[in-house]
A = this chain, B = another copy of it.
Amino acid sequence: MSSFQELKKKIQNDNFSIGILGLGYVGLPLAVLFAQKGNTVLGFEKSDSKTEKVNRAENYIGDVEDEHLDAVIRTKKLSATSDFSRIQECEVLIICVPTPLDRFKKPDMSYIQGACEEIGRYMKPGALISLESTTYPTTTEDFMLPILEKESGLKHGHDFYLCYSPERVDPGNHSFKTENTPKVLGGLGEEASELGMLVYQKAIKQIHKVSSPRIAEMVKILENTYRLVNISLINELTLLAGKMDINMWEVIEAAKTKPFGFQAFYPGPGIGGHCIPLDPFYLEYIAKKYHFDLTMIHTAGHIDMMMPHRMVIKVNTILNRHKKSINGSKIMILGVAYKPDISDERESPALKIMDELVHKGAEVFYHDPHIPEIHTEEGQSFSSTPLTKDNIKNMDLVVIVTNHSVFNVQDIVEKANLVVDMRNAVKFESEKVYKF
């Protein structure tokens, strides 16, 4: 029997193990889901502290339900390890490692490379490998495949199979989780696609097959490029609207009444997180290889990059109206997560705003109920300040950067001396409040 037929039979008979490399906000929910569905899952993580947490059923990912993790650890359907030689126990290997950009917006492929090297070293013949990390089109074929073949001495399409299936995790989304978010999958060849479909169908309700990994790679980037471009557009229009005495929030609410051809995006102090600020620049990176300049992404990136600075200028303008300077003012940042109701501050514009305010001489505090301490890009460390009456009153200015739903905005505005609201959090009229 060919290795394809053999693996297909194993998957169909539920006689296979899944190894998931990377137990972060993508890998852990996926591992728990596969385990819940009765599959045997082995989670791989370099960090011992994470594997120990998982094995103790200590949840550290917001989108994972504690009892779900607890159940699959108890039934031994899921376990975690930092011993990558145990890759040889797995028929299916799913890579969910980070793909960050460095500070010069160049893709850092070292995590994918490391995962491929480990897999190449240890996988047994007849394995299926799926990459979920967001990356530039052609990665699966041109970057992963050569590493896997070289390290393993095995041959794709004969000894192992490779596909790409981008994660679509939206942290904090209560309607769409891993299980009910349709998944896109493109295999390198028909056999890889077929195996990939069989595996993911064990856990995920709807899989949309495309004809190649590069199609699937482009899908994910298109989705997030769409978001970057539209957020940047609305931010730029809002900056103009401010000068024209036009409340952009009211404009957007009215535009939303158009029943076709419009989707609302909202202004804010800048994008954050692990997707929108990164994915489009993966495409911009690979485009250069094709002598191609992606002007829309470039322009959107430019707007996004300047947003935190524009917000500091806004703060300065408002303080100035009250005959104060940033230098010497006490400023409280409310919310540092990159979006409401999550505990993730990666790439959050709040951090950049805080750095610049410190640099300009402000005494900066923050409060975030979900994030007890942060470290900014410039190496500043902060702890969340309690939101007491005295602490609010004591500030020259409170800046609402992230509108967590637990904030009692009415109460905060009443106690504050001055508020800059970057998220349209304040829904009532107040002379103390200035909006972006």
Tell me the A148-207 residues at the B interface (CB within 8 Å). Answer: 168, 170, 173, 175-176, 181-182, 184, 206
Tell me the A275-300 residues at the B interface (CB within 8 Å). Answer: 283, 286-287, 290, 292, 294-296, 298-300
Is A208 an interface residue, CB under 8 A from the partner?
yes
| Stretch of A43-51, A230-238, A322-330, A377-385 at the chain-chain interface | A230-238
Is A137 an interface residue, CB under 8 A from the partner?
yes
CB distance from A161 to the nearest CB of B (A): 20
Tell me the A246-294 residues at the B interface (CB within 8 Å). Answer: 246-248, 250-252, 254-255, 257-263, 283, 286-287, 290, 292, 294
Instruction: Tell me the bound Cα distance from A142 to B220 in angstroms.
Output: 45
Is A313 an interface residue, CB under 8 A from the partner?
no
Tell me the A352-393 residues at the B interface (CB within 8 Å). Answer: none
Within the complex, which residue of B137, B251, B298 is in contact with A219, where a contact is CB–CB below 8 Å? B251
Within the complex, which residue of B175, B208, B245, B290 is in contact with A243, where a contact is CB–CB below 8 Å? B290
Contacts A244-B138, A257-B184 given; does A294 touch B236 at CB 8 Å = yes
Are the CB atoms of B254 and A214 closer together than 8 Å?
no
Chain B residues within an 8 Å CB radius of A258: 168, 181-182, 223
Instruction: Tell me the bound Cα distance from A243 to B250 in angstroms.
Output: 42
Tell me the A27-64 residues at the B interface (CB within 8 Å). Answer: none
How many positions in chain A have a CB within 8 Å of any CB in the partner chain?
64
Contacts A210-B250, A210-B254 given; does A182 touch B230 at CB 8 Å = no
Chain B residues within an 8 Å CB radius of A173: 260
CB distance from A203 to the nearest CB of B (A): 17
> Which 10 A-B residue pairings sit nearest by Cβ, starting from the closest?
A182-B257, A299-B299, A263-B263, A243-B290, A219-B254, A208-B257, A233-B296, A218-B251, A184-B254, A240-B292
Told that A223-B261, A236-B295 touch, could you supply 4 new A-B pairs with CB distance under 8 A? A138-B244, A170-B261, A214-B245, A226-B233
Please list 10 pairs of residues, one from A and one from B, whose beta carbons are closer than 8 Å in the complex, sorted by A's number. Answer: A138-B244, A173-B260, A176-B259, A210-B254, A222-B255, A226-B263, A227-B261, A236-B294, A295-B302, A295-B303
